[in-house]
Amino acid sequence: MKPTERYDLKEKLLAKLLRRQIEAFYLAGSMRIVRKGIDGIPCQGCDEPIFSKETIAVEYRFRGNRRHTFHLSCDALRLIVASEYLLRLLEETRKAMRDESDGPSK
């Protein structure tokens, strides 16, 4: 994957996370590796079809019987994007708490 493609996919994944189209984290017990029977299902990350002859996919079940299926590489990048986003939120929260505890500036 070229750096520009990776950047574009990271932006797409972040947008999907913020719109709650995909989850930041799925329960570990809900994950399964899929190698057969998924031909043509679109990846929840990149929206490209998944072909079992070409790649390994990861499937998550959640909220009843809903399923999200990703190319393995898209799922790995989803985890990175979600972690970076949550770390950025944590840093912003800590900064706001420090600024609040310092009181108004003179």
Separation between Cα atoms, residue 71 and residue 54, nearest integer Å = 10
pLDDT of residue 72: 92
Report whether 1 contacts 65 (CB < 8 A). Answer: no
pLDDT of residue 47: 95
For the ranges 19-33, 53-67, 92-106, the lowest mean pLDDT is seen at 92-106
pLDDT tens-digit profile of 60-105?
A: 998 888 899 999 999 999 999 999 999 999 999 999 898 888 766 5
More confident call, 42 vs 99:
42
Averaged over 20-41, what is the pLDDT? 88
- The highest-level CATH class for domain 3-102 is alpha beta
Q: For residue 14, which of 81, 70, 68 has the smallest C-alpha distance?
A: 81
pTM score? 0.82
pLDDT of residue 81: 96
Q: For the chain, what are the domain ranges? A: 3-102
